[in-house]
Amino acid sequence: GRGSLLCYVAVAGLALRYLWDSTLTRSSCTPSTRGLPHPATSSHHPTRTPSTTRMRELSPAARLKLQELADRPAATFKQRLALLQFQIVVLLILYVVVRIMLKIPWLGRGLSKVVKLSRQGPLYKLGVWLCRRLARVTMGRHAYAKPSIAPAIRVKKRTATTIEVKVVAVRGRFGNADDVIVESRADDGAWTPLTYNATEKTATAATTPGASLDIRARASNVRGAGPWSAPLQATALLKPNAFHGGDCGEFSWRQTPETVTCVIELPRGRKDVVVEATRETLTAGLKDVAFFDGARLLRPVGEARWEIVDGVLMITLEKAVPTFRRGDHWDRLFATGPRVDTALLPLSLPSIASG
């Protein structure tokens, strides 16, 4: 936030000012001799031909100034400490003034816009990097603190064979980035480490179609490891069946560019079927058993028809909008049902006429 930005600026200002004062102190103890003849040259080479460029001689006032600089004593440790304390007090006063200014509504909005715009430029990123680098160099392992907050995890992408998660860890002391440890667990209960991509802040776990995984993460640095995040349960997508739909256990479904069909295997000898379909919901079952009760479909449909073939109930729904491209095909029958990996579908599905 704004406080972190001001702290970075303060640390950088103090460090640069201290280095600058030290450089000036060292240079003041060694006066410049530019413009004066070198003593070694004049004593060992008396017959050397003088240069055609005439050296400019220093005035008596300049010589006196150089002598005063040479005689000036170096700054003591107490003097440097007093200067450092003064700079800290001034920076704290400036910090308080800025915080008060941010409390003013119209002025706070303006400063917030300036800070937001400055964070998008390369100079801000370079300054933040320099401050963090300076803290690590000067403080070593003390520039880090043991992580106390678990990283946030969310599912970024799912396929039939992989689950990719996004892992974002809170930056530690002085904005230093901590290492992230990511693990996954299948049904057997054994945690397996995953490879973490620090650039993309992602980790990918291999799995099988329709399988579920638990994924957790934690931050770690030289001061220790933080707490684990709550396990995130993610399920891989289903592999499309031979009819470009999905097998969902108690039922299956298939699709063409114009229609989507729900297939349910009925108990032996039962034909007392009840089917009711609307534009957005589907109800199906027997007189005493309900398979679906007002289940919401993924997308609106048109006309509906059903039939029983060899003890199998087939409910065919016409798509309100036909799908002819891979990205437009249905990936599930119901809005809350398991999804199918449409990337495994062909570019174009066979239509009713061609099938």
Q: Rounded to two decimals, what is the model's pTM?
A: 0.60
Fold designation for 246-344: Immunoglobulin-like (2.60.40)
pLDDT of residue 196: 95
Cα torsion 35, 39, 42, 44 to 10°: value is: -150
pLDDT tens-place string over residues 305-337: 999 999 999 999 999 999 988 889 999 999 999
pLDDT of residue 39: 45
pLDDT of residue 54: 54
pLDDT of residue 33: 46
pLDDT of residue 279: 95
Question: Exposure of 8 by Cβ count < 10 A (0-12 exposed, 13-18 middle, 19+ buried)?
Answer: buried
Domain coordinates of the chain in residue numbers? 2-32+62-141, 152-235, 246-344
**Stretch (H or E) spanning 115:** helix 105-118
- What CATH homologous superfamily does 152-235 map to? Immunoglobulins (2.60.40.10)
**pLDDT < 50 regions, the chain:** 2, 27-53, 354-355
pLDDT of residue 201: 93
Sign of dihedral through CA atoms 51, 53, 54, 55? negative
Residues 100 and 136: their CA atoms lie apart, in Å, by 31
Identical fold at 152-235 and 246-344? yes
Q: List, in sequence order, every beta strand (DSSP E) within 169-258.
A: 179-185, 191-194, 196-197, 202-206, 212-221, 224-225, 232-235, 246-247, 252-255
Per-residue burial over 193-226, b = 16 or more CB atoms within 10 Å of its CB, e = otherwise: ebebeeeebbbbbebebbeebbbbbbbebebeeb
pLDDT tens-place string over residues 134-157: 766 676 666 678 888 999 999 999
